[in-house]
Amino acid sequence: MEYIGIIIVAIFVNNVVLSQFLGICPFLGVSKKVDTAIGMGLAVTFVLTIATIVTFLLQKGILEPFNLQYLQTITFILVIAALVQMVEIILKKISPALYQALGVFLPLITTNCVILGVALLVIQKDFSLIESVVYAIATAIGYAMALIIFSSIREQLALTKVPKSIQGIPVALITAGIIAMAFMGFSGIDQVFK
């Protein structure tokens, strides 16, 4: 039941992009087409899960035992950047098709603050390794879901007549605000799991 609560809260109640405002740049940047949104969602899910595991083990195995918590942020940034590069190299060798599918999204993830934000949040929330992985996967699913919903609406907006004064980013921000308000309807459901 505890894991179900973590999943529901991470996807709907505390959606990382709609309520915590992490990952706004890629949210706005790659959300013009559903295909790119799906690709980015898959890439974020893959990297977020691996990065959370590695940073959690690094925190609990090295930083905390040697009282080096003050190096947490810079260490996590370096680890995430190195991890993305390693994943890119490994995928290029092992699975060229998957590498082509993820394409430009892997380098974009290096600067996606969702990855660093979740790595720091699991430490702040004092999750166990399994809880951290569940939270990371659920957060990535919530991010991907919000991105796909947003890109679907943006594709429809491209086909409609929008007033010239709010075309482009203004209507995208208005749309994102409406989606965020819709997700606010899930607030309170987290109390069921406490």
Each residue's pLDDT tens digit, 142-181: 999 999 999 999 999 989 999 999 988 899 999 999 999 9
**How far apart, in whole angstroms, are the C-alpha atoms of residue 192 and residue 60?**
31
Residues with Cβ within 8 Å of 106's Cβ and at least 6 positions away in sequence, in order, are 43, 47, 84, 87, 88, 91
Side chain identity at 71, as an amino acid letter?
A: L
Q: For residue 162, give the 3-state DSSP assignment.
A: coil
pLDDT of residue 156: 93
Average pLDDT taken over every residue of the chain: 90
Give which of 92, 108, 106, 128 is closest to 3, Cα–Cα: 128
Residue 118 near residue 52 (C-beta atoms within 8 A): yes
pLDDT of residue 8: 93
Phi, psi of 33 (to 5 degrees): -135, 145
Side chain identity at 121, as an amino acid letter?
A: L
Residues of the chain whose pLDDT is less than 70? 1, 103, 193-194
pLDDT of residue 41: 87
Residue 74: both structure tokens together: 């810079």
pLDDT of residue 131: 97
**How far apart, in whole angstroms, are the C-alpha atoms of residue 91 and residue 86?**
8
Q: For residue 1, give the 3-state DSSP assignment.
A: coil
